[in-house]
Amino acid sequence: MPIRVLYDGKTFGKGFRADIIVEEKVLIELKSVEKLSAVHKKQVLTYLKLTDIKLDLLINFNEKLLKYGFERVVNNLED
């Protein structure tokens, strides 16, 4: 899904592409890497801020068991 970038009242094309956005409430980012790192979390936080979505599921398919590849990332989620 393309994500538009708004800055200083201007729209700058579709600078980012999210893998999946579910009903404009959950963003899902898919990876297949040896290990998820801080840069992956920063990437999805940027996507969350740009879309004003609060929840992301970061999924790494390069795990022995898929259940170990899920990571939940939130953006300003209230208690």
DSSP letters spanning the chain: -EEEEEETTEEEEEEEE-SEEETTTEEEEEE--SS--HHHHHHHHHHHHHHT--EEEEEES-SSSGGGGEEEEESS---
In-domain check, residue 68: yes
Which tens digit of pLDDT belongs to each residue from 46-66?
888 888 889 999 999 999 999
- Give the pLDDT mean for 7-20: 78
Determine the pLDDT at residue 26.
94
How many domains is the chain partitioned into structurally?
A: 1
Residue 64 lies in a domain: yes
Within a domain: residue 48? Answer: yes
- Residue 77 pLDDT greater than 70, yes or no: no
